[in-house]
Structure 1
Amino acid sequence: MKKLQLSLLLMVFLVMAGCSQSETTNTEVNKLKETNKTLIEDYNKLVDKKEKLEMELDTYKEVDENSKHLTTIIDDFIHAAQKGDTATMQANISKEFTFEKQEEWLTAVNGEKNFPFYSDFYKTKLKSWYLQGIDYDKEKDFVRVFARVGYSDGEDSWYFEIIKEDGYFKISDLQYET
């Protein structure tokens, strides 16, 4: 009888040990499933971030590759503005702009913004200009170009915003300080 009791006790002990181990295993499996789920979410976030960074890098490469072209646009525009050459200015500026004569000044007009450039009586001559910098604004998707323009009687700072319009780089906004 003692053998039977001892056998039954051993069997109960083994069953209890198996059940307790099964609960531990289930808890560990659930923890591993949660960890796996978190890792998959983190991985997907990193993949998305990588894709965004690659797109941004491509844009910076495009700006770098086109910096010479952007500089040419600015050069053409500055020289045309000095001469009052509306055809060249219009070729390098967004179609949002029009050119009008306002109080003897040739003026680029874009909505409420007016930019007077040229007048027959304005005798200051362009001496030189140099590029101060090119910056890409990723949030607004345009290139900002800073130039210093020297005249026979002083200097101006010009700020251009350039976008791609119909596949071509065009000046979309500009400012200057005298």
Structure 2
Amino acid sequence: MRKLLIVAICSFTLLTACSQKDDSLEGYESKLEEEKTKFTETLNEKEKKIEELNQTIQQLNTQIDNYNTEKENYAFISNISMEFVQAHTTGDKDKLRQLLSDDILLEEKDNKLYAKNAQGYEWLLFNNEKKTQFDDWVIQGYEYDRESNTYHIFIREFYISLNGEPESPPTFLYLSFIKVNEEWKIHSLEFDV
């Protein structure tokens, strides 16, 4: 009987220990499942953040490309702008024809030279009877539009009267450039005071 009691106590202890171990394994598995869920959520958040950062990098690289393109062609565009200002302030039709795209026509009437676009807008380029002289010019702004591959330049022109007094206000000139047969041409222009 004593042996039977010892076997029963040992069996009971063993069963109790095993059931406690099963309970602790279930708790451990539950804990691992929670940690796995947390790590998965964190991983998903990090992957989303990486995707956002990659998009930001791509946008910044596009901006860098735009700035590099803008910088590379600045000399060409500013020289063409200078030639245009010189030609329109002296009435040099031949030079103006070289600089303008086919979208802009030159028209002479009443001793004045006009530029006219396809939409019918007309700008006075030169007036032989004008009582002012061209004095100087300055580039006010410059930008490149990658989507349309166009350059825009903003110029301020200064004039003086025949007695040497500065004309006020200065004239503002807006030029837009496109590439035609590998050559930059003035695609549109606009004057403002």
TM-score w.r.t. structure 1 length? 0.82
Query: How big is the alpha-carbon RMSD for the aligned residues of Structure 1 and Structure 2?
Result: 2.6
Closer/same/farther in 2, CA of residues 5 and 92 from structure 1, 3 Å limit: farther
Percentage of identical aligned residues: 21
Give 1:134's aligned residue.
142
Aligned to 1:177: 192
Q: Deviations over 1:50-87 (max 9, x none)?
A: 12211211221222232222211111111111233334
How has the CA–CA distance of structure 1 residues 166 and 3 changed in structure 2, closer, same or farther, with 3 Å as cutoff? Answer: farther
- The 3-state SS of whatever aligns with 2:132 is coil
AA aligned opposite 1:4: S
The 3 A distance-change label for structure 1 pair 102 and 44 is farther
Shift in CA distance, 128/24, structure 1 to aligned 2, threshold 3 Å:
same
Structure 1 runs of 4+ aligned residues shifted over 6 Å read none
Aligned partner of 1:150 among 117, 139, 158? 158
Tell me what 2:47 maps to: 40
SS at match of 2:185: strand
Are 1:22 and 2:29 an aligned pair?
A: yes
3-state SS of paired residue (1:95): coil
Counterpart residue identity of residue 157, structure 2: V
Deviations 1:96-124 (A, max 9, x none): 32223456532222214321212333353
Residues 133-168 of structure 1, C-alpha deviations (whole Å, 9 max, x = no match): 324456776433222212232231222233445544
Contact in 2 for aligned 1:97/1:109 (Cα 8 Å): yes
Q: CA deviation at 1:30?
A: 2.3
- 2:116, 2:122 within 8 Å by CA — same for their partners in 1? yes
Of 9, 13, 17, the match for 1:6: 13
Count, aligned residues: 178
Aligned AA (1:176): F
CA distance in 2, matches of 1:169, 1:28: 62
Q: For structure 2, which runs of at least 5 residues remain unmatched after alignment? A: 1-7, 162-166
> Within the alignment, does 1:61 sit opposite 2:64 as a pair?
no
Mind listing any 5+ residue stretches in structure 1 that lack a counterpart? none
TM-score relative to the length of structure 2:
0.77
